[in-house]
Every structure is written in structure tokens, then in C-alpha cells.
Structure 1
Amino acid sequence: MALINCPECNSKISDLALSCPNCGCPQSSWKKQSQKQNFLTRFLLWFFPIIDDDYTRNSIINILEKVSFAPSLKTINGCGRSIYGQLLFSDSENIYIKATFFTIFFIPIIPTGAYLVKEEDYGSYVFLGKLPICKLLSILSFSQIIKFIISVIFTSASMFVVFFLGMGLLVYLYRLFKAL
């Protein structure tokens, strides 16, 4: 027997009660709501790459190498070195595992490193350490690796689309003003 909150009045009641003694809310609505919340939680956790166990976190900290400076992240028209992917390491501190790639037109071609980073503001990071890619892959589970790869693909695809939409807009504006 456990105490749970009523979804209607938020008062503490027994999980064995048929209805809430305060507001009369039937127990059948509690189960439906908890099933919906459980499905939503599982759905979001499946798509959001996260490191959720202490053993994996400690293993990653053990292979962490110091970095004296942040890696150079420069691209010209999407060609160069950029940071992609996101694997949540610590939610309370905004710490992620991110990978750097050599890119061509914002498409990641060759991974050049993996880093433990702290997100400060949108788009700015503090590099806490470097992670050897081979050791990192041996620590992460298969599902975490797949989710990380999917996050890399989505990030690069969105940047690719934005880049070419911007180029298309520039061509359109050029033709529009040239006609005037």
C-alpha cells in the first residue's frame, strides 16, 4: 500500500482506494492518466539520448582526458570541423557528450573527437575533457550509441536544410533586385 496524489484535487490518498475521499474522483481515471504519463515518459526517453546509470557515468569520468584548449571549430560554407550530436551526461548541470566531425556541406564525414562539454548559452560550450572514441564506444550501450548517431543525423540534416534554404533565399532576392 502506498500513498499517491489524486489527479483532480492533489490530496494524498491510498493507491487501493476506489475513489478520492475529498473530491470523489474514481480510481479508473487515475490508472488511465498514469498509463498515458508512463507511455509519454517511455516515448521521450527512447528518443532523447541520456546516460542514466552511475556505472556508465563513472566509467566515462575514468577515461576523461584533460584538454588545455577547446578544439578549433571552423567551417566555411559547411566545410570544416563542427560539433554534432548530444548525449545527456548530467541534466542538473547541462553537461553533454558531443562529437566533433570533419564536415562537407554540414554533413559529418569523419569523427575527429568526442568531448564532455558544459552548455553555457545557446551555441557556446565549456570543454571539460576529451573522451577517446574507441573507449567511449565500448562503455556506451548499443541503444545509446544508436540514439547518439540519430541525434548527429538530425542536427546535420537541419543545418543542411537551413543552409540551402538560406542560399535559395539569397538567389531569389538577387534575381528579384536584379529585375528591378
Structure 2
Amino acid sequence: MGRVEDLLIRDATGGDAAACAAIYGHYVDTSWATFELEPPTVEAMAVRIAGCQERHAWLVAEQDGRVVGFAYGTTFAERAAYRWATEVSVYLDPDARRGGLGTGLYDVLLPRLRDRGLHVATARIAQPNDASNALHARYGFERVGLLKRIGFKLGTWVDVAIMELELAPPDLSPAEPR
């Protein structure tokens, strides 16, 4: 892997679906980082990318012409009053972790979401996960809750921390998110 300075952070396209599905599939199969039990197909990943790009953002980190990670913002919840909130996630190629890739992705993603008029970012982090906890704390995310034994995967019950970051100050007349 090259240095973080060699990264290209860009908007994801449908052409990135296979790389994103491969990275994500690793976490589906081997960890609690996601509670999905079956890796999504390339086609399903392309639909997810397109959906996030409509109202939020999906970014990829490319190094030496290869996608080595991705981060996205998506709908926090379906009810209309939640439209100023987003849920964020980041996934990195297992061989590329701990090299600053998550930081590179969030350096672009979080301002992009703020610029789109979103006021609050949330993250759900299966516990324990020191690396993800530290990444989110670095950006000012605060732990606002813990869902105990909320998921069962890989033969054990898993707790999930709820993290929150204020992207913009409270506004009694917020503009519609873009």
C-alpha cells in the first residue's frame, strides 16, 4: 500500500460496485462491523451506491488505481423529520487498515454532508472496535448510547455504540438538505 498522500478520494460510481462489494463482503463474512449475514451482490451494491449519491454521498479511496476503501452517508431514518440527519459508515480493504484511509475518507465525506445541509451525523459501531471508536472520536463524534446485545452474529451477542456528531449548529428554520 502507498501512503495516504497518494490517495485519490472521489465520488463512487456504479463501476466501483465490485470493489466495494468485495471489501464489504469481507466484513459481512468475518466480523460484527455489519450485521448483514450474506454479502450483497455487485448489482445490489451498485443500487446502494446510486441511492446514497442521490441525497447524501458515497466516496471511494483509490490507491495505485485500486479501490482500497469507501465511506458513505445514508438516510438515518425514513420519517421526514429526520431528513437533516445522516448515518455514516466507512469500510477499508483489510490489507489497508490503520494507514489513515478512514481519516482521508472522512476528511472529504463529513464536510460534503455538511455542505448538503445535513445537521447531524450518526454512526453505529459494534463493540468492541477500538479502531472505529478512535476514528469517530477524532472527528468529535460522542457516544450517546449503547444498545446491549442488540445483534447476534458469529455465535455471540453484540453490543452497538451509537455515536453522534453535530455537523451544523441547531437552526429553528433549517434549509432543506440538498
Larger radius of gyration: 1
TM-score (norm 2): 0.24
User: Whose strand fraction is larger, Structure 1's or Structure 2's?
Assistant: 2
Q: Which has the higher contact order (CA 8 A, sep 6+)?
A: 2
